[in-house]
């Protein structure tokens, strides 16, 4: 596949992520912060997000698995996950966290377990999509092309 084709594929793919709500304007903000002095900025932030999230999801799984659930602790973890997903623009993860927190307030064990599943699902979805997108970018750069800037009318 030649560079132009790859670039078009990347643009279409990225746009679909915005259209489907996986990513929001904050992600665009991060892309705009990337420059020649730090060409891996987005990859680095996204990797941090993956590391943080996986740890938080493990902590959440354990916390909800306790005989007596400490909802304050659960809420604290969800709050952190909400924060980092919001900071990178992972909109659906963030929204799932918002719902999760309201059930934490109610101390509803069944609902919070369902929320955990929901958050995990959204996380793995966006992780997959971001990895695909970043891989496409890598291929373009490896072929000597540049990464097109996405213009979206928000």
Closest approach of Cβ 48 to other proteins, in Å? 5
Nearer to other proteins, 62 or 143 (CB): 62
CA distance 14 to 120: 22
Q: Which of residues 121-140 bind other proteins (CB under 8 A)?
A: none
State which of residues 1, 13, 33, 121 lies at the interface with other proteins (CB under 8 A): 33
Q: Which of residues 86-105 bind other proteins (CB under 8 A)?
A: 86-89, 91, 95, 98
Q: How far is CA 84 from CA 27, 65, 87, 89, 123, in A?
A: 12, 24, 5, 9, 12
Length of the chain measured in residues? 154
Phi/psi of residue 80, nearest 5 degrees: -65, -45
> Tokens 């064990």 belong to which residue?
109
Closest approach of Cβ 24 to other proteins, in Å? 5
CA distance 8 to 72: 46
Nearer to other proteins, 4 or 83 (CB): 83
State which of residues 3, 9, 15, 30 lies at the interface with other proteins (CB under 8 A): 30
> Tokens 């490896």 belong to which residue?
142
Decide: is 14 part of the binding site for other proteins (CB under 8 A). no
Which are the contacts of 76, defined by CB distance < 8 A and separation ≥ 6? Answer: none
Decide: is 111 part of the binding site for other proteins (CB under 8 A). no
Q: Which of residues 68-87 bind other proteins (CB under 8 A)?
A: 76, 79-80, 82-84, 86-87
Nearer to other proteins, 1 or 98 (CB): 98
Per CB under 8 A, the segment of 3-11, 20-28, 103-111, 121-129 that binds other proteins is: 20-28
Instruction: For the beta carbon of residue 85, count every other beta carbon within 10 angstroms.
Output: 26
């Amino acid at each position: 596949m030649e560079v132009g084709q790859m670039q078009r594929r990347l643009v279409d793919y990225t746009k679909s992520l915005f259209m489907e709500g996986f990513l929001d304007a904050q992600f665009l903000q991060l892309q705009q912060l990337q420059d020649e002095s730090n060409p891996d900025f987005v990859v680095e932030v996204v990797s941090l997000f993956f590391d943080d999230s996986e740890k938080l999801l493990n902590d959440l799984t354990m916390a909800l698995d306790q005989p007596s659930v400490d909802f304050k602790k659960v809420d604290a973890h969800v709050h952190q996950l909400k924060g980092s997903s919001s900071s990178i623009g992972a909109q659906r993860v963030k929204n799932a966290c918002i719902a999760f927190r309201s059930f934490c307030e109610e101390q509803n064990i069944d609902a919070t377990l369902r929320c955990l599943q929901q958050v995990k699902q959204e996380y793995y979805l966006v992780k997959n999509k971001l990895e695909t997108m970043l891989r496409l970018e890598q291929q373009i750069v490896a072929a000597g092309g540049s990464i097109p800037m996405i213009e979206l009318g928000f």
